[in-house]
Amino acid sequence: MANRTLTSPPQPTGLLLYLCSTLSDTKRTRVKELLRSGLVHVNEESVTQHDIQVGPRDTVEIRDERATAKRSFPFDVLFEDATLLVINKPNGLLTVGNKREKKRTVESIVNEALRPERQRCYIVQRLDLFTSGVLLLAKTEAAQKQIKAKWGASSKLYHAVVEGIPDPPQATLTHFLTEDERLVVHAGETPSREAIEATLSFETLKSRDALTLVLVRLKTGKKNQIRAQMSAIGHPIAGDAKYGATSNPIGRLCLHASSLSLTHPKTNQLMSFQAPIPDGMDL
């Protein structure tokens, strides 16, 4: 069906009751399906709750589900609802634009796909250009703010192949990060006014041919953090010449965001998303 703007109720009433009475030719189960699918918009924001109140000052619209069905992305969608979009970002694709590239980015691709639905994405996190894996986008500004406010409580796991064999095989690292004029991040042990404190922990999973697969758990999320910190302890990520690596076993940076867990900003349910490790990284 085409987008349809409904007549506002004369007095506040529950959304589900209002929809069922207004869409009298539509079955209640179908109305619930429209809500679950994020096709009901109140004041330009997609809603899924049945019990929110709508009144004479609210604009309620049913969006065209065909626009959603026709969408296609050049990457895998791991999860999508009215509030969140979670993708498996490929290696070589920017999250957001920079001076040299503005069009071929996750943000621009998603916004172009959502435009027919009069939606857009809101950036919650960024993955480096050559890092692949789980990337979370919000579909409303309110969701973006809620997620960012609780971002420190989320669980972020990465798999990386590093050069050498770490000893000890597991550790927690805290460094102070600074960035030079060449945009290289340095991980030092001394705090300073300019430095940003960064912490991660890692554990060895397996080793082969002087390469080691490690599982990294981020405690903070700073630019190039994993790359700079692993390089600082003498174990740069394979394929990362910028941070001192001399090997490149699979022709790309061996860093992958494999898992993200967080509380859903609308439902308060614990959500967990995984992206499989790329071919060649599992040693």
Residues 189 and 238 in one domain: yes
pLDDT at residue 141 in the model:
94
Assigned domain for 283 exists? no
Residues 177 and 138 in one domain: no
Q: Which residue has the higher pLDDT, 140 or 81?
A: 140
Residues 221-278: pLDDT tens digits? 999 999 999 999 999 999 999 999 999 999 999 999 999 999 999 888 899 999 999 9
Assigned domain for 251 exists? yes
Determine the average pLDDT of the residues in 151-164.
Answer: 98
Assigned domain for 241 exists? yes
Residues 110 and 47 in one domain: no
Pick from 64, 90, 116: which residue ends a domain? 64
Is pLDDT at 8 greater than 90 in this prediction? no
Residues 160 and 245 in one domain: yes
pLDDT at residue 66 in the model:
60
Which residue range forms the structural domain that includes residue 21?
4-64
DSSP state of 209: T
Residues 167 and 241 in one domain: yes
Residues 23-45: pLDDT tens digits? 988 899 888 888 887 788 888 77
Assigned domain for 272 exists? no
Residues 183 and 231 in one domain: yes
The CATH number assigned to the domain holding 84 equals: 3.30.2350.10
Q: Which residue has the higher pLDDT, 25 or 2?
A: 25
**How many angstroms separate the Cα of 147 from the Cα of each of 203, 218, 228?**
27, 16, 26
d(CA 274, CA 78): 8
Contact 246, 217 (CB under 8 A): no
Residues 6+ apart with CB under 8 A from 61: 3, 4, 5, 6, 40, 41, 42
pLDDT at residue 69 in the model:
55
pLDDT at residue 111 in the model:
95
Assigned domain for 237 exists? yes
Is pLDDT at 202 greater than 80 in this prediction? yes
Is pLDDT at 158 greater than 80 in this prediction? yes
pLDDT at residue 253 in the model:
98
Residues 83 and 131 in one domain: yes
CB atoms under 10 Å from CB of 113, counted, come to 18
pLDDT at residue 89 in the model:
98
Residues 168 and 147 in one domain: no
Contact 92, 107 (CB under 8 A): no
Assigned domain for 279 exists? no
Pick from 22, 48, 64: which residue ends a domain? 64
Assigned domain for 77 exists? yes
d(CA 270, CA 268): 7
Report how many domains make up the chain: 3
The CATH number assigned to the domain holding 11 equals: 3.10.290.10
Residues 46-89: pLDDT tens digits? 788 888 899 999 999 887 666 555 578 999 999 988 889 999 99
Residues 6+ apart with CB under 8 A from 210: 163, 164, 165, 247
d(CA 172, CA 26): 57
- The beta-strand segments (E) located in the chain are 4-6, 13-14, 40-42, 45-46, 53-54, 60-62, 76-80, 84-89, 122-123, 132-138, 155-163, 170-179, 185-188, 196-208, 211-218, 255-263, 270-274
**How many angstroms separate the Cα of 206 from the Cα of each of 38, 130, 149, 170, 241?**
43, 23, 36, 12, 22
Residues 135 and 82 in one domain: yes
* Interstrand relation of 45-46 and 4-6 (parallel, antiparallel or unpaired): unpaired
Residues 60 and 77 in one domain: no
The phi and psi torsions of 124 (rounded to 5 degrees) equal -105, -40
Residues 60 and 72 in one domain: no
CA 154 to chain centre: 12
Residues 103-136: pLDDT tens digits? 799 999 999 999 887 889 999 999 999 999 999 9
> DSSP string of 129-146?
TT-EEEEEEESSHHHHHH
Assigned domain for 277 exists? no
Residues 164 and 219 in one domain: yes
The beta-carbon contacts of 18-25 under 8 Å, at least 24 apart in sequence, are 18/54, 18/60, 19/60, 23/62
